[in-house]
């Protein structure tokens, strides 16, 4: 999973390898494919009204942005072990909280970077107000954190276990 400090992002070896593979694909086969699409669309004539050309250029821009993001992430990555299963909240864990200590009003989420976001579980960044508020605290603790509007919110940490997805 990930743990972000000011200068480094911690990744498991598996996560690091997955991101390296994605970068290799985007800078190799994907770049060749998009160049071919752009060249084919150019041959169709007037570029001002060529939807295929504009779509291909937009796709190229998105790919290049992702290449820059991955390159930056991997340059600062530190490969390490997943978090310890000791009940202390850290990035790479699934955390269950109760709002205002109300155990009927709960939320479970993965505390990780957006690289781990999936449809299976909601993901909160370690830099988010909630994420930064719960990091380092233990199961059973009540924690207050500041909302973006400046108000304070409180939660009780009910569970914190390493993510196994």
Model confidence pLDDT, tens digit, residues 108-149:
998 887 666 666 788 888 888 999 999 999 999 999 999 999
Residues 73, 98, single domain; the answer is no
Tens-place pLDDT, residues 89-118 = 988 889 999 988 677 889 999 888 766 666
- CA-to-CA distance for 125 and 109, rounded, in angstroms? 10
The last residue of a domain, from among 31, 47, 79:
79
Alpha helices in the chain (DSSP H): 13-27, 29-42, 51-76, 129-134
pLDDT of residue 82: 67
143 phi and psi, to 5 degrees?
-130, 135
- Is 113 within the bounds of a domain? yes
Q: Is the pLDDT of residue 77 over 60?
A: yes
Residues 71, 97, single domain; the answer is no
Helix (H/G/I), strand (E/B), else coil: 33: helix
pLDDT of residue 114: 67
pLDDT of residue 134: 94
CATH code, domain carrying 106: 3.10.50.30
- Is 87 within the bounds of a domain? no
Residues 114, 153, single domain; the answer is yes
C-alpha torsion sign, points 153, 158, 163, 165: negative
List, in order, residues 6 or more apart from 15 with CB less than 8 Å away. Answer: 1, 2, 115, 116
- Is 88 within the bounds of a domain? no
* 52-89 residues labelled b (16+ CB within 10 A) or e (exposed): ebeebeeebeebeeebeebeebeeebeebebbeeeebb
Q: What is the mean pLDDT of residues 68-81?
A: 81
- Is 86 within the bounds of a domain? no
What are residue 98's DSSP bridge partners? Answer: 106, 156
pLDDT band at residue 4 using 50, 70 and 90 as cut-offs: very low
Instruction: Tell me the pairing of strands 106-111 and 123-124.
Output: parallel
Q: Is the pLDDT of residue 73 over 60?
A: yes
pLDDT of residue 9: 65
Tens-place pLDDT, residues 13-58 = 777 888 899 999 999 999 999 999 999 888 887 777 788 888 899 9
pLDDT of residue 6: 44
Are the C-beta atoms of residues 11 and 77 closer than 8 Å to each other? yes
Find the domain containing 39 and state its range.
3-79
- CA-to-CA distance for 98 and 136, rounded, in angstroms? 17
- Is 84 within the bounds of a domain? no
Q: How many domains does the chain have?
A: 2
Residues 57, 111, single domain; the answer is no
Residues 21, 67, single domain; the answer is yes
Residues 75, 11, single domain; the answer is yes
pLDDT of residue 115: 65
Q: Check residue 45 and report its DSSP letter.
A: S
């Amino acid at each position: 999973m990930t743990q972000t400090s000011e200068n480094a992002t911690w990744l498991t070896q598996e996560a690091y390898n997955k991101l390296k593979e994605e970068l290799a694909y985007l800078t190799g086969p994907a770049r060749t494919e998009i160049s071919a699409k752009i060249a084919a669309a150019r041959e169709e004539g007037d570029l001002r009204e060529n939807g295929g050309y504009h779509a291909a250029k937009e796709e190229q821009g998105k790919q290049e942005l992702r290449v820059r993001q991955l390159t930056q992430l991997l340059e600062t990555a530190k490969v390490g072990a997943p978090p310890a299963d000791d009940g202390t909240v850290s990035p790479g864990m699934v955390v269950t909280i109760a709002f205002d200590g109300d155990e009927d009003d709960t939320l479970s989420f993965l505390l990780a970077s957006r690289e781990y976001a999936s449809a299976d579980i909601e993901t909160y960044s370690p830099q988010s107000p909630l994420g930064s508020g719960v990091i380092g605290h233990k199961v059973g603790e009540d924690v207050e954190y500041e909302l973006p509007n400046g108000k304070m919110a409180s939660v009780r940490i009910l569970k914190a276990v390493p993510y196994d997805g």
